[in-house]
């Protein structure tokens, strides 16, 4: 059996694991990442693409912000379309000058991967049967199989950055963890295409046929979503069917100017709200999707992963460089305070913008009243904008 020793073993090479590895490396700490998939597979996943300023700043701090600053699109606002009429939410004006940066999560991941390989740091891709144990002792360990060879990695700490279906949260005894979950009766069907975006800003549309979102990756690449029943199969959606349905849900101007083309990717994602508490178990720390999931409305998933990683990297650096465990001790509570506020916002925006046909009529009336209120109230729009650009760290 091959053995390795490191200070911080990171499970998962998604944005959370890679960003943590990069921030720790910059502080002179040693990490090893184990990842179940290949690097190509990790880069083939299409996820959201709206970065809060705090997330973009953290990419700069990690020394990987160059391409993001050059290619990312600063968005000062977005639109809510209701009943075929668009209303602009002016983020810059409503949120004290703050804006968001449109830059795909896939590109964030690519930049972090390039930096990690340029620095010659160890990432074990295609690691099979990853298991962790001993995190309740001073010598946590992982075992896995890499290219047929069994490996043991010992560390001071394990960072569980292995997403919702990962092994780390699942390794915690059931009695030590509390789970909170809400599953929505619909999903998002997403389509990526090399076509110019239908509008300069994102459009979140409420429509009797269901919610839709017009987003983008660049001036020449668009990302669109449709609310669909969670039982829907992507094979049943030809590109033409997708474009027709999107057009039917857009306001007349957007429908008229929509440029369509062949899909580069199409997939259905379920909508879920989920939180695991606490986020620390001895020497195991969960971060990102391993600890919490938000529905994609509002694009908080990656931004929450980034704020966890900020807290965790600071805490680990304090431990090694200043001999203080205060940050590690407060990690879970600090993260969860921010996590629950983003859970609330993502649930609220999801509830506001989607069709809930199976809910009582009373619910639909409340939703209509809430939409009316948001579109007419400066105070409500400020609250929306404040959350959308990201609550303070």
Size of the chain, expressed as the number of residues it contains = 393
Q: To 10 degrees, what angle do helices 301-317 and 326-353 make?
A: 170
Q: Which of 65, 190, 301, 327 binds ligand APR (CB under 6 A)?
A: 301
Among 15, 140, 197, 296, which one carries the catalytic annotation? Answer: 296
Segment interacting with ligand APR, rule: CB under 6 A, options 34-42, 110-118, 240-248, 377-385:
34-42
Question: Exposure pattern of 147-176 as b/e (b: 16+ CB <10 Å)?
Answer: eeeebebebbbbbbbbbeebbbbebbeeee
Kind plus residue range of the DSSP H or E element containing 143: strand 141-146
3-state secondary structure of 300: coil
Contacts of 268 (CB under 8 A, 6+ apart): 187, 188, 189, 190, 228, 230, 232, 233, 234
Q: Which does 297 bind (CB under 5 to 8 A by kind): ligand APR, ligand PHB, none?
A: ligand PHB
Segment interacting with ligand APR, rule: CB under 6 A, options 161-169, 171-179, 221-229, 235-243:
161-169
Q: Which of 206, 223, 334, 338 binds ligand PHB (CB under 6 A)?
A: 223
300 is known as an active-site residue = yes
d(CA 373, CA 368): 9
Please, what is the end-to-end C-alpha distance for the chain in angstroms? 43
Q: If binding is defined by CB under 6 A, does position 299 make contact with ligand PHB?
A: yes
Cβ neighbourhood burial of 362 (10 Å; 0-12, 13-18, 19+):
exposed
Q: Which does 42 bind (CB under 5 to 8 A by kind): ligand PHB, ligand APR, none?
A: ligand APR
Contact code string over 155-184 relative to ligand PHB, x by CB under 6 A: ------------------------------
Among 103, 125, 184, 204, which one carries the catalytic annotation? Answer: 204
252 is known as an active-site residue = no
Segment interacting with ligand PHB, rule: CB under 6 A, options 8-16, 93-101, 260-268, 297-305:
297-305
For residue 131, the minimal CB distance to ligand APR (Å) is 8
Segment interacting with ligand PHB, rule: CB under 6 A, options 34-42, 47-55, 258-266, 354-362:
47-55
Are 377 and 330 in contact, with CB atoms under 8 Å apart?
Answer: no
Residues that bind ligand PHB (CB under 6 A): 48-50, 202, 213, 215, 223, 296-299
Which residues are known to be catalytic? 75, 204, 296, 300, 388
């Amino acid at each position: 059996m091959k053995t390795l020793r490191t200070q911080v073993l990171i499970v998962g090479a998604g944005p959370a694991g890679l960003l943590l590895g990069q921030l720790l490396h910059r502080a002179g700490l040693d990490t090893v990442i184990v990842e179940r998939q290949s690097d190509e597979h990790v880069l083939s996943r299409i996820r959201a693409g709206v970065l809060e300023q705090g997330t973009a700043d953290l990419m700069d701090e990690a020394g990987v912000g160059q391409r993001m600053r050059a290619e990312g699109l600063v968005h000062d606002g977005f639109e809510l379309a209701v009943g075929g009429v668009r209303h602009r939410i002016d983020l810059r004006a409503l949120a004290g000058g703050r804006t968001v940066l449109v830059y795909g999560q896939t590109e964030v991941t690519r930049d972090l991967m390039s930096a990690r390989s340029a620095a010659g740091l160890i990432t074990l891709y295609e690691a099979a049967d990853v298991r962790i144990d001993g995190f309740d002792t001073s010598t946590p360990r992982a075992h896995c199989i890499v290219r047929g060879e069994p490996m043991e990695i010992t560390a001071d700490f394990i960072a569980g950055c292995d997403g919702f279906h990962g092994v780390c949260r699942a390794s915690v005894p059931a009695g030590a963890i509390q789970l909170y979950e809400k599953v929505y009766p619909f999903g998002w069907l997403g389509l990526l295409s090399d076509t110019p975006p239908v509008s300069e800003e994102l459009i979140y549309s409420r429509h009797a046929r269901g919610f839709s979102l017009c987003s983008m990756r660049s001036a020449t690449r668009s990302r669109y979503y449709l609310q669909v029943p969670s039982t829907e199969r992507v094979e049943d959606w030809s590109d033409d069917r997708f474009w027709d349905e999107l057009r039917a849900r857009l306001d007349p101007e957007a429908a008229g100017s929509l440029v369509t083309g062949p899909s580069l990717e199409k997939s259905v994602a379920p909508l879920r709200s989920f939180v695991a508490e606490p986020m620390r178990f001895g020497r195991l720390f969960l971060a990102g999707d391993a600890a919490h999931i938000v529905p994609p409305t509002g694009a908080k998933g990656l931004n929450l992963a980034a704020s966890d990683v900020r807290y965790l990297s600071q805490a680990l650096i304090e431990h090694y460089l200043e001999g203080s465990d205060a940050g590690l001790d407060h990690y879970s509570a600090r993260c969860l305070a921010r996590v629950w506020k983003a859970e609330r916002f993502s649930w609220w925006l999801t509830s506001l913008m989607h069709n809930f046909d199976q809910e009582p009529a009373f619910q639909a009336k409340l939703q209509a009243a809430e939409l009316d209120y948001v579109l007419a109230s400066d105070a409500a729009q400020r609250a929306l904008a404040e959350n959308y650009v990201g609550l303070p760290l």
